[in-house]
Amino acid sequence: MVTKPPIHVVIWLPETFYAAVAATLAEIFQLVNTLRREAVFSFEFVSRRGCTPAASGVSFAARETPSRTPDVLILLAVPGMERSALLADLDAESSLAAPFIAHARQAGAIIAAHCSASYFLAQAGVLDGKAATVSWWLKDDVGRLFPKVRWDASRLLVRDGRLYTCGGGFSGLELAKALLKDLGFQDEERWVRKLLVLPPSRHLQTPYEIDLAEFAPQAASLRERLDALPLDDIASLDLTALASRLTLTPRTMARRFADEIGFSPGQWLKDRRLAIARTLLEETDMSVAEVCHRVGYEDEASFNRLFSKTMGMPPGAYRRESR
């Protein structure tokens, strides 16, 4: 008896994404395996960046390329409601998603886009002449940018052949349920709904639309947000942690630094380290080695060279001059 190979699901992760959606999709496929007492699904996360953190900071282990050709490719959304920043992030991520989309198309796989990920399919030309939906807050933008697509952003889920698109963060639940039924797992879909206490199927996004401008707080400038950051743990603060504290993606953080501050996040972090080092040299009796490690440098010689280049004198001389 020939054993049928499991249906292979590849879940593609952008630079940041919704951890709850990624985890729920994996949980649903694994639950079907448990209910069937056999591996009818295999699934894996893929990302060009390998281990990838979600918007919440939770990390997912991901391969850079699929271990086998996908039967189903699910593209997860880039989070964000500030449209200009979100569109820039979607443009940047499109080039990373494109090879996975092309591979899946060549294999004849089902391709599903969650929330703003419909943008990737539209950018790749896959949706030209097709019916599709997208996150409701992007409907005007995608209509303008991709006029060949038959957009219907009132719908929560749209299927056109082997292409699935859905809108809004937890529309991923509707996507998972639709995939199970269309792949022939109607009974399992019903069991999953009952075991996970999933809400009844929804069909429209329109009841969820709001005016985002009405409740969005006045955004503080990047400089104000940087000035408000606690730097007690400057030694362990790196660029990834800095982006997380600012609730920005690393790419958006770099762009906002260039636009608003005029130099890179790395330069800002170096300046803060040196400013704290100067204060410690002026106000404490810590040794230069202790100051070096307190501000995050492991090599004292490198710290001394950097300090001398910036301040015009080594740390010891600076201490003598400043007291």
pLDDT digits (tens, 9 = 90+) for 247-298: 777 888 888 898 888 889 999 999 999 999 999 999 999 999 999 999 999 8
CATH 1.10.10.60 positions along the chain are 222-322
Q: Which fold has domain 7-208?
A: Rossmann fold (3.40.50)
Instruction: Examine the pLDDT at 15 and tell me if it is beyond 80.
Output: yes
CATH 3.40.50.880 positions along the chain are 7-208
Report residue 91: phi and psi, to 5°: -60, -45
Rounded to an integer, the average pLDDT of 133-148 is 93
Token pair for 310: 């910036």
Count other C-beta atoms under 10 Å from residue 267's C-beta. 12
The CATH number, out of the four listed (3.40.50.620, 1.10.287.1080, 1.10.10.60, 3.30.565.10), of the domain defined by the range 222-322: 1.10.10.60
Pairing of strands 72-75, 7-12: parallel
Rounded to an integer, the average pLDDT of 154-171 is 94
Task: Give 175's contacts (C-beta < 8 A, 6+ positions apart).
Answer: 74, 112, 114, 157, 164, 166
Instruction: Examine the pLDDT at 19 and tell me if it is beyond 50.
Output: yes
What is the pLDDT confidence band of residue 1, given thresholds at 50, 70 and 90? very low
What is the per-residue pLDDT across 42-96, written as a single tens digit (0 to 9) for each?
A: 999 998 776 665 656 667 888 999 999 999 999 999 887 777 778 888 998 999 9
Task: Give 190's contacts (C-beta < 8 A, 6+ positions apart).
Answer: none
Task: Give 287's contacts (C-beta < 8 A, 6+ positions apart).
Answer: none
